[in-house]
Amino acid sequence: MMHRLIKLEFSKLFRRGLTYIGFGAILLIVLIIHAGMYAEGRKLLDLLMKNLSDVFVFQGDLINVYTVSYIILNSLWIHIPILVAIVSGDMLSGEAGRGTFRLLLTRPVSRLGLVTAKYITAQIYTAMLVIFLMLLSLGVGRIFYPTGDMIVLINTINIFGQTDVLWRFLAAFAYGIISMWVVSGLAFLFSGLSSSSLSSVLSTMAVIIVFTIISNFSLGIFEVIKPFLFTTYLNGWMLFFDDPVNWEKVISYAAIMIFHITAFFIATLVIFRKKDITT
Amino acid sequence: MSVRIFIVLLFFPFAGALAQPDANAIVREILRRNAIVKSFEADVTIDVDVDFIKIPVKQGRVFYKAPDKFRFRAPGFALIPKRGLNFSVMDMLSGPTTAIYAGADEKNHILKIVPLSEKADFVLSTFWVDMKNSRISKMEVNTRGKGNFMVEFTYGNIGYDLPETSRVSFDIQPVDIPMNFTGSFKIDKTKANERSQGVVFIRYSNYKVNGSIPDAVFTEE
C-alpha cells in the first residue's frame, strides 16, 4: 500500500513544473561555475598561492575536477535549501491550496499513510537533488578538467592526493543528503501548518536565514544558543575535507540531524492528524 | 729571553692567518667536483612540513642537466622547494662572489660567501664544507627580503657529490588569502604578518649520473 502511495506521489510530483526548477537551477549554476573556473580558475589559484611561490615551485595542476567540484559545493550549499523547500513546502499545503485534500482523503488511505508517503517522497526528491548536484559537478567537471590532487582551505591549506578524494566527496554528499533532509523536514512541517505553498516556503527560508545568521555569529550569547540550532550542523559536510576527519563530530552532527528529521516528521503527523480538512 | 717571547707573540696571529685555508680555493674545489656531474636523474621523496599546509609525501623522479635544466615528474601536485636543491646551491657559488674563511668546527670548514653583484638574491651565506671530501654539509642563507633558509645535506656512496638527503628549513609568511571561496581559512590576525618556519625533507635514491636525458623531458607539459 505504502509503495503504491509513494509511486502515486511521485507521479504527481513529476507532473508539476515546480519540481524541475531545482534541477534546472542546479544545472545552470554548475555550468556557469564550471565555465568561470575554466576561464579564470588559474588566476584564482595564483592569487591563493602567491606567498608560497617565493619558497616553492609548483609542479602539477590544482585546477581539476575535484577542486572545482569542491568550489561548486561551497558556493551552492547555501542555495540548495531554497530549492528543497520549494518542493517540500508544497507537499501538503499544495494539496490544501488546490483543494484536493478532501477528495484524496475520501479514498481508503489513512492520514498517517498519506503523510508518511508524502514525507518519504519529499525526502527522496531531496536526495535526488543532491545526487544530481554530485553527478553534475563531478561528471560534467570531468569533461572540462582532468582528475588530480585537490586543494581545500579548512583551518589550513589541505592538499589531498587524488586517490584520497573521491571517498570524501561521496561521504560529503551523503552527509549533504542528511542535512537537506532536515531542511526538507522543516519545509514539510510548515507545509502541514499552512494551506499556502508560498507561506510554507518563505517560513522555512526565514527560519533558515535567522538560524544561519545566529550560527555564524561568534558572540557570547549566540555561542550558547548555537548547539540547539540545526543550521549549525548543516555545513558539516566540510568535516570530510579536514585532515584527519573528526569522526566523533561527524557522527554527533549526523545524529542530531537525524533527530531533527524524525522530530519534524512526528510533529507534522501530530498536526495533520488533528487538522480540520476544509478544502 | 723576553725579546724572543715578544717576537713570538708579535707574529703568532699572523702565523695563524698564514696557516688558514684559502676559502676561494675551497669553493673552487667544490665547483670542480660538482662539474663532474653533467646530468643526473633520481627518485625523489619530498616531505613538506609547514604548519599551515598539509600535503601528502610526494614521490617522483627528478631530472637535471647542466647548467640549469631541471624537471620533477610526479603524479598530481607537488611543492618543490625553490632553494636548497643541489644545482641551485652551485649557481649561488659560481656567481660573482667572494669567499671568506670564517673558522672551522670538528669536521667542517666554515665559509662566508658574499655576493659581489647587486643583483644577487642573497646578502650573505654561510657554508659548512666537509674537510675530508670538500662537500657542502650545511648552508645558511640570508636572502634579499625573502627571509632566511638553511639546508643540511647528507651523502651516500654513489661516488659523486650528490646528496642522499636534503633538509631545507626556511621562513615562510602565512597566506593572506582574500578568500571565502574554497573554504573557511582562519588566520590568526596577530600572526598574519609574522614569518613562520617551514621544513622540506628530500630523499634521493636510484641515481643515474651522466646518462643521456633527452631535452624533451624538460619541455614536456
**B176-186 burial by CB neighbour count: b if 16+ within 10 A, else e?**
ebeeeebbebe
Mutation site for A-interface testing, chosen from B50, B54, B187 by largest number of A Cβ within 10 Å = B54
| Amino acid, res. A258 | I
pLDDT of B8 > 80? The answer is no
Gap between the Cα atoms of A210 and A203, Å rounded: 11
Gap between the Cα atoms of B59 and B39, Å rounded: 20
Cα A127 to chain centroid distance, Å, stands at 8
Sign of CA dihedral B99, B103, B109, B110: negative
pLDDT of B182 > 50? The answer is no
- Mean per-residue pLDDT of chain B: 81
- Residues from chain A contacting residue B175 (CB–CB below 8 Å): 48, 51-52, 157
Could you tell me what percent of chain B has a pLDDT over 90?
33
Mean pLDDT (whole number) for B199-210: 93
Q: How many CB atoms lie within 10 A of CB A156?
A: 19
Question: Which contiguous run of DSSP H or E holds residue B19?
Answer: helix B2-19
Name which of A25, A28, A14 is nearest A125 in CA terms. A14
Cα distance from A239 to chain B (closest Cα, Å)?
Answer: 11
Q: Cβ B77–A148 below 8 Å, yes or no?
A: yes
pLDDT of B1 > 90? The answer is no
Gap between the Cα atoms of A20 and B89, Å rounded: 62
Are the C-beta atoms of residues A234 and A126 closer than 8 Å to each other?
A: no
Go through chain B and tell me how many residues it has.
221
Would you call B164 exposed, middle or buried from its count of C-beta atoms within 10 A (0-12, 13-18, 19+)?
middle
Q: CATH: 2.40.50.100, 1.10.1760.20, 2.40.30.170, 2.50.20.10. Which one for B20-177+190-210?
A: 2.50.20.10
Whether the bond into B75 is cis, omega within 30 of 0: no
Under 8 Å CB-to-CB from A212, ≥6 apart: which residues?
A231, A234
Are the C-beta atoms of residues B144 and B156 closer than 8 Å to each other?
A: no
| Closest Cβ opposite residue A162 in set B76, B172, B175 | B76
Name which of A179, A158, A163, A164 is nearest A73 in CA terms. A179
Cα A123 to chain centroid distance, Å, stands at 11
Gap between the Cα atoms of A84 and B125, Å rounded: 62
Residue of A nearest to B60 (CA): A59
Gap between the Cα atoms of B201 and A194, Å rounded: 64
pLDDT tens digits along A90-138 = 998 888 877 777 777 777 778 888 899 999 999 999 999 999 999 999 9
Output the pLDDT for position B159.
Answer: 85
Gap between the Cα atoms of A198 and A89, Å rounded: 8
| Closest Cβ opposite residue B77 in set A44, A59, A154 | A59
Gap between the Cα atoms of A196 and A121, Å rounded: 19
- Which ranges of A49-164 would DSSP assign to H, the alpha helix? 65-76, 80-88, 93-98, 101-105, 111-134, 141-144
Gap between the Cα atoms of B178 and B193, Å rounded: 15
Mean pLDDT (whole number) for B122-145: 90
Output the pLDDT for position A251.
Answer: 96
Residue B193 φ/ψ, nearest 5 degrees:
-100, 5
DSSP letters along A151-195, please?
EEEESEEEEE-GGGTHHHHHHHHHHHHHHHHHHHHHHHHHHHH-S
pLDDT tens digits along A222-275 = 888 888 899 999 989 989 998 889 999 999 999 999 999 999 999 999 998 887
pLDDT of B143 > 50? The answer is yes
Mutation site for B-interface testing, chosen from A45, A48, A56, A61 by largest number of B Cβ within 10 Å = A56
pLDDT of B44 > 90? The answer is yes
pLDDT of B193 > 70? The answer is no
| Closest Cβ opposite residue B183 in set A59, A60, A154 | A154
- Residues from chain A contacting residue B79 (CB–CB below 8 Å): 52, 56-59
Question: Which contiguous run of DSSP H or E holds residue B49?
Answer: strand B39-50
Gap between the Cα atoms of B56 and A4, Å rounded: 51
- Which ranges of B70-135 would DSSP assign to H, the alpha helix? 86-94
Residue of A nearest to B179 (CA): A48
Residue of B nearest to A243 (CA): B54
Output the pLDDT for position A278.
Answer: 67
Name which of B164, B160, B161, B23 is nearest B89 in CA terms. B161
Mean pLDDT (whole number) for B114-143: 90
C-alpha cell at B120: 644577487
Q: Cβ A162–B182 below 8 Å, yes or no?
A: no
Mean pLDDT (whole number) for B2-26: 63
Are the C-beta atoms of residues B218 and B70 closer than 8 Å to each other?
A: yes
Gap between the Cα atoms of B23 and B100, Å rounded: 6
Residue spans of the domains in chain B: they are 20-177+190-210
Output the pLDDT for position B188.
Answer: 47
- Residues from chain A contacting residue B64 (CB–CB below 8 Å): none
Q: What angle do CA A93, A94, A99 make, to 5 degrees?
A: 95
Output the pLDDT for position A219.
Answer: 74
Mean pLDDT (whole number) for A132-156: 86
pLDDT tens digits along A52-90 = 777 788 888 788 899 889 888 887 777 899 999 999 999
